[in-house]
């Protein structure tokens, strides 16, 4: 009888133990933030609107980080990215948006559980830009460009499953889109910064 009680108590104790670190390798972080420091050149117009005003960004990051080195996929979307500009020429754009999808290497400290952990990440992927003109001044510009991103931040964990993450990241397009001879604009020399905050879920 005592052996049976001991086995029951042991089984209950094991069931109440916190999950091991290996069970918290995956993470998912929906985020919201803003872009800043944006620069762009359009076609043959040198530095036409080279200062993009801050715009809201939102998206999510999902990744796997068993120890120090892992990976993550980062998706971001910014509506009306080029709608207002702070450049001296102040060109009037219509509807626009920028979408990013990046595959990154993720580096962090190995500790788990509650606490604060810095991290860094960087990689390559897609930067998709769409720009239209008011008054049909030029044809709509839509590009799917190869780009890079690098950044980092700090993750604060309330426990082994939930935390909060602040991230700052730099994006740059590596493609130079030339205009085709008609009055179309090719987006080139495009880069911007993005700062976000989000809730991280681990499992």
115-133 and 141-157 as β-strands: parallel, antiparallel, unpaired? antiparallel
Could you tell me the mean pLDDT of each successive run of 10 residues in the chain, 203 residues long? 47 44 79 88 53 81 93 94 59 76 94 81 93 59 87 92 96 71 52 95 93
In this predicted structure, what is the pLDDT of residue 153? 96
In this predicted structure, what is the pLDDT of residue 38? 82
In this predicted structure, what is the pLDDT of residue 175? 72
Cβ density class 99-124: b for 16+ within 10 Å, e for less: bbebebebebeeebeeeebebebbbe
CB proximity list for 165: less than 8 A, separation 6 or greater: 29, 31, 153, 154, 155, 156, 197, 198, 199, 200
In this predicted structure, what is the pLDDT of residue 152? 96
In this predicted structure, what is the pLDDT of residue 15? 44
What's the token pair of residue 41?
């050149």
Instruction: Report in angstroms the alpha-carbon separations of 190 from 47, 100, 133.
Output: 10, 13, 18
Q: Which domains does the chain have, with CATH numbers?
A: 2-202 (2.40.160.20)
Instruction: Compute the distance between CA of residue 143 and CA of residue 156 in angstroms, rounded to an integer.
Output: 37
In this predicted structure, what is the pLDDT of residue 184? 39
């Amino acid at each position: 009888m005592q052996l049976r009680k001991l086995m029951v108590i042991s089984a209950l104790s094991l069931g109440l133990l916190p999950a091991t670190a290996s069970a918290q390798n995956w993470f998912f972080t929906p985020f919201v933030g803003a872009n800043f420091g944006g620069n762009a050149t359009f076609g043959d117009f040198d530095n036409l609107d080279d200062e993009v005003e801050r715009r809201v960004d939102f998206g999510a990051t999902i990744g796997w980080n068993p120890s120090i080195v892992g990976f993550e996929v980062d998706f971001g979307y910014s509506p009306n990215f080029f709608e207002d500009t702070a450049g001296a020429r102040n060109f009037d754009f219509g509807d626009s948006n920028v979408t990013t999808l990046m595959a990154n290497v993720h580096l962090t400290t190995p500790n788990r559980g509650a606490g604060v952990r810095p991290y860094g990440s960087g990689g390559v992927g897609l930067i998709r830009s769409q720009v239209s003109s008011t008054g049909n001044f030029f044809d709509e510009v839509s590009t799917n460009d190869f780009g890079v991103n690098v950044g980092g931040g700090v993750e604060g964990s309330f426990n082994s499953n939930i935390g909060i993450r602040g991230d700052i990241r730099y994006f740059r397009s590596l493609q130079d889109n030339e205009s085709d001879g008609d009055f179309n604009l090719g987006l080139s020399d495009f880069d911007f910064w993005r700062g976000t905050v989000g809730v991280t879920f681990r499992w």
